[in-house]
């Protein structure tokens, strides 16, 4: 099994887990060291007061030399142990060996304290409930050496960290707060390369086949995934380039004999005159040439649409095309109307965007009876375009199929009109390349409604 390195994702998770645990444990240890319920050095100011008190008691006991009668000595000791400061403090005296001389109160706390604090060179203190013990301080008399301890009521509020340690819920909350920065950093380290990979995948879905060096950064797992992704993009570019070369070759090889065929048909018509057979050959050759051109346009659109994208406004993009379509509709004794164009910002390939809308409008002119209505509706962050006509429409069960290449609702009609079944497929491909969508429904005018949605640039 490999040792987890920090450059690997699982190594970072492992390291952050133990770093968080270490920080929490160290914090708890430091808290316990400052807990007044544990043995601690006496702060400087209280220590000086207690040392001064010990000096005064030492002088008082030595002012009257102790007699050989221990009863008199013990009486004076007991007099010193009376409660002071309204019974808020208490002095204790013990022998050097730890035997309590006086008083006999708080003996449980005192006995515990003298077992852990028995060096007068380094006096200590400890809290027992609300009773704070401190000492020892050396008292030297002619009779014997004693240890003096002090006890008093502690009225201070428990430190914040003591309150935390005494409440499991608060301790859990603090632990979560301490670990949050580490976990946030881990989440950022994991999601940042994941977001980059997601954005790169979305660009590829839009037809932008470009390698992204930033994908090969971050944890080793994401570096490897990013490198594989870039290799995939390069492979796709190679495949697409090969496809483009193949399409160019097909275009040249197919159009050359078609051109010769049409020239031969024209020569035959000159020599033999017009005939239905020669006209049919010329018509089919013309349709075939048109179909090849549209098929090549569709293929080029799916590959190269992202290479010429720019931000354009809706008015300058479609105005001339709409005016030309209105003129064409009038020549066929039909009415084409559209609402006022605005300067909607749209990012894309201008030629493809014009071609996408023009294909739908010309279909509406071709198959509508006499009315074509185009409506532009500005919605939040997108533009809705609807094209309605009052023609025969499309059966409901075929509305989703009309965007498939070469699909024909009525073969006889398409042949008579010269349609190839590629116009709406080109439009659908163009909109998909621009992160848009297209949908066909029944029109309120009685014919077909085509709804197109394009995202607006910010």
CATH number of 310-455: 3.30.565.10
Please give the C-alpha separations between residue 245 and each of 241, 242, 307, 387, in angstroms, as whole numbers.
6, 5, 18, 36
Burial class (CB in 10 A: 0-12, 13-18, 19+), 85: exposed
Contact 42, 125 (CB under 8 A): yes
Locate CATH 1.10.287.130 in the chain. 239-300
Residue 190 is classified by DSSP as H
Please give the C-alpha separations between residue 455 and each of 17, 143, 365, 441, in angstroms, as whole numbers.
44, 101, 26, 21
Please give the C-alpha separations between residue 432 and each of 134, 202, 305, 386, 412, in angstroms, as whole numbers.
82, 12, 10, 17, 30
Locate CATH 3.30.565.10 in the chain. 310-455
Residues 146, 114: Cα–Cα separation, whole Å: 13
Contacts of 245 (CB under 8 A, 6+ apart): none
Domain 239-300: CATH architecture, name and number where available: Orthogonal Bundle (1.10)
Residues 391, 177: Cα–Cα separation, whole Å: 67
Is 252 among the residues known to form the active site? yes
pTM to 2 decimal places: 0.49
Residues 186, 107: Cα–Cα separation, whole Å: 54
Contact 363, 392 (CB under 8 A): no
Is domain 36-158 in CATH 3.30.450.210, yes or no?
yes
Please tell me which residue in 252, 315, 333, 434 is annotated as part of the active site: 252
Residue with tokens 């409660």: 83
Helix (H, G, I), strand (E, B) or coil at 14: helix
Locate CATH 3.30.450.210 in the chain. 36-158
pLDDT in single tens digits along all 458 residues of the chain: 455 555 666 666 777 777 777 777 776 666 666 666 677 788 888 888 888 888 888 887 776 554 445 556 666 776 676 655 445 778 888 888 877 777 766 567 888 888 888 888 888 888 887 788 888 888 887 777 888 888 888 776 665 556 566 666 666 677 777 777 777 777 777 778 888 888 888 877 766 777 888 888 777 777 888 888 888 888 887 887 777 677 667 766 777 787 788 788 888 888 877 777 878 888 888 777 777 776 676 666 655 555 567 888 999 999 999 999 999 999 989 999 999 899 999 988 888 888 889 989 998 998 888 899 999 999 888 999 999 999 888 888 888 888 887 777 754 344 445 556 677 888 888 888 788 889 999 999 988 999 999 998 87
């Amino acid at each position: 099994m490999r040792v987890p390195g920090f450059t690997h994702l699982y190594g970072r998770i492992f390291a952050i887990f133990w770093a968080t645990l270490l920080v929490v444990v160290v914090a708890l240890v430091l808290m316990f060291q400052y807990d007044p319920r544990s043995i601690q050095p006496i702060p400087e100011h209280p220590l000086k007061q207690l040392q001064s008190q010990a000096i005064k008691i030492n002088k008082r006991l030595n002012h009257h030399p102790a007699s050989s009668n221990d009863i008199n000595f013990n009486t004076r000791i007991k007099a010193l142990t009376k409660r002071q400061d309204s019974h808020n403090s208490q002095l204790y005296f013990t022998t050097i060996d730890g035997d309590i001389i006086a008083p006999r109160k708080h003996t449980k706390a005192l006995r515990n304290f003298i077992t852990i604090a028995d060096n007068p060179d380094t006096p200590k203190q400890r809290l027992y409930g609300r009773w704070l013990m401190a000492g020892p301080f050396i008292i030297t008399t002619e009779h014997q050496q004693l240890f003096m301890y002090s006890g008093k009521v502690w009225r201070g509020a428990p430190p914040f960290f003591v309150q935390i340690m005494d409440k499991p819920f608060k301790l859990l909350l603090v632990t979560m707060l301490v670990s949050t920065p580490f976990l946030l950093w881990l989440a950022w380290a994991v999601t940042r390369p994941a977001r980059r990979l997601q954005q790169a995948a979305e660009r590829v879905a839009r037809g932008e086949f470009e390698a992204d060096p930033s994908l090969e950064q971050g944890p080793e797992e994401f570096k490897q995934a990013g490198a594989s992704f870039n290799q995939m993009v390069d492979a796709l570019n190679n495949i697409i380039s090969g496809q483009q070369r193949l399409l160019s070759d097909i275009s040249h090889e197919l159009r050359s004999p078609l051109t010769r065929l049409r020239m031969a048909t024209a020569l035959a018509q000159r020599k033999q005159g017009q005939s239905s057979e020669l006209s049919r050959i010329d018509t089919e050759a013309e349709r075939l040439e048109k179909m090849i051109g549209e098929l090549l346009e569709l293929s080029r659109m799916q590959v190269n649409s992202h290479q010429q994208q720019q931000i354009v406004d809706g008015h300058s993009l479609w105005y001339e095309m709409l005016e030309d379509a209105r003129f064409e509709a009038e020549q066929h004794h039909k009415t084409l109307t559209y609402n006022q164009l605005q300067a909607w910002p749209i990012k894309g390939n201008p030629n493809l965007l014009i071609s996408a809308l023009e294909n739908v409008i010309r279909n509406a002119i071709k198959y509508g009876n006499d009315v074509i209505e185009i409506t532009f509706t500005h919605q939040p962050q997108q533009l809705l375009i609807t094209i309605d006509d009052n023609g025969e429409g499309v059966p409901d069960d075929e509305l989703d199929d009309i965007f498939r290449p070469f699909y024909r609702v009525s073969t006889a009609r398409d042949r008579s009109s010269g349609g190839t079944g590629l116009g709406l497929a080109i439009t659908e491909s163009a909109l998909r390349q621009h992160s848009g969508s297209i949908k066909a429904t029944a029109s309120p005018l009685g014919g077909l409604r085509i709804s197109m949605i394009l995202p607006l640039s910010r």
